[in-house]
Amino acid sequence: MTTDSSLSGSLPRVQAVRPADSGRPRKPRPWGQIASQLFLISASVLWLLPILFALYIALRPYSETTKYGYVSLPHSLTLKNFSDAWSTSGMPHFFWNSVLITVPAVVIVLALASGVAFVLTRVDVKVNVALLILFTAGNLLPQQVIITPLYRLYLLIPLPSFLSGSGLMYNSITGLVAVNVAFQLGFCVFVLSNYMKSIPEEMYEAALVDGAGLWTRFWRLTVPLCRPALAALATLLTTWIYNDFFWAITLMSSGDKRPVTSALANLQGQFVSNQNLIAAAAMIAAVPTLVVYILLQKQFIAGLSLGSSKG
């Protein structure tokens, strides 16, 4: 009879092996993610630093910065520079000039660009590709290259008296609207044509079956679907045209007709410049673009992310 001791001696012993690491495997340290975050933080600080410094100068009295310098600790802060900038430079009048230039230019650009983009993408014409290349190439033309011939043309092109007090394109708000429309149109056509290509062809085929004409397909089908792109472009155009300084200086001679950005030069004297006052005026002039971005922020972000989830 076999005993338990003999059986236990004849059987091999099995030792339990513990896992080397029962926890989850450690992920490698994301150095690329850390580097990208550091880069974004550094870029944000560099971007905000001039704005914060201008705001700091605008809040300090002129006598204090004259005595201690601009890069010094403040002894007092005041809002007097903002009230003086608003009243001294006549900013309400120049704000109205900016509205008269920016709003018509943005509306005309979006209207023309949406129509041209629809024709280039949904109407079968042999010159579609050539026209799209032409509009795209227009974005590559620097403004400074054509300023001399454009200046001479503006001195020769007549306008009715209700569009220009001088009777010419030069020194008129209509002339500034026209040049901004011409230079912003190519970019908007390029963006809208690319977006319209992403609209399914089956929607237009169904509209044709229902008897929709070309205008109906454009106005009642394409334009509503392009609202995010139009909102994003409206935000960008408002910022670009409102902040324009070059055209208002070169194509406008009367100071009372200039927009608010170029009118800031009225605060600078020939021998003495109150930089605190100019900084406060610049802060005030930047408010409308911030308001437009806040109002259209949701549509602007949606327009920037169009097509990001498509494979």
Domain positions in the chain: 33-78, 89-304
pLDDT-derived band at 179, boundaries 50, 70, 90: very high
pLDDT-derived band at 10, boundaries 50, 70, 90: low
Q: Which CATH architecture has domain 89-304?
A: Orthogonal Bundle (1.10)
CA 282 to chain centre: 18
* pLDDT score of 72: 87
What is the full DSSP assignment across 140-204? Answer: TS-GGGSHHHHHHHHTT-B--TTT-TTSBSTTSHHHHHHHHHHHHHHHHHHHHHHHHHTS-HHHH
Mean pLDDT of 112-118: 93
In this predicted structure, which of 42-51, 156-165, 218-227 has the lowest mean pLDDT? 156-165
pLDDT greater than 70 at residue 11: no
- Helices 173-197/128-138 angle, 10° precision: 130
Residue 226: how many other CB atoms lie within 10 Å: 22
Token pair belonging to 276: 């605190």
* pLDDT score of 57: 93
Mean pLDDT of 182-208: 90
* pLDDT score of 305: 63
* pLDDT score of 262: 79
Mean pLDDT of 138-158: 87
Among 165, 178, 166, 170, smallest CA distance to 153 is for 170
Question: What is the Cα–Cα distance from 163 to 168, expressed in whole angstroms?
Answer: 9
Strand partners, 268: 273
pLDDT > 90 in the chain, percent? 30
Mean pLDDT of 192-196: 90
pLDDT-derived band at 30, boundaries 50, 70, 90: confident
pLDDT digits (tens, 9 = 90+) for 101-113: 999 999 999 999 9
In this predicted structure, which of 131-135, 150-154, 172-176, 244-248 has the lowest mean pLDDT? 131-135
* pLDDT score of 53: 93
Alpha helices in the chain (DSSP H): 4-10, 31-58, 62-68, 80-88, 91-122, 128-138, 147-154, 173-197, 201-209, 214-216, 223-225, 227-242, 246-250, 260-263, 275-285, 287-295, 297-304
pLDDT-derived band at 27, boundaries 50, 70, 90: low
Residues 135, 140, 145, 149, Cα dihedral to 10°: 0
pLDDT greater than 60 at residue 220: yes
Q: What is the mean pLDDT of the chain?
A: 83
Q: Is the pLDDT higher at 87 or at 180?
A: 180
* pLDDT score of 256: 81
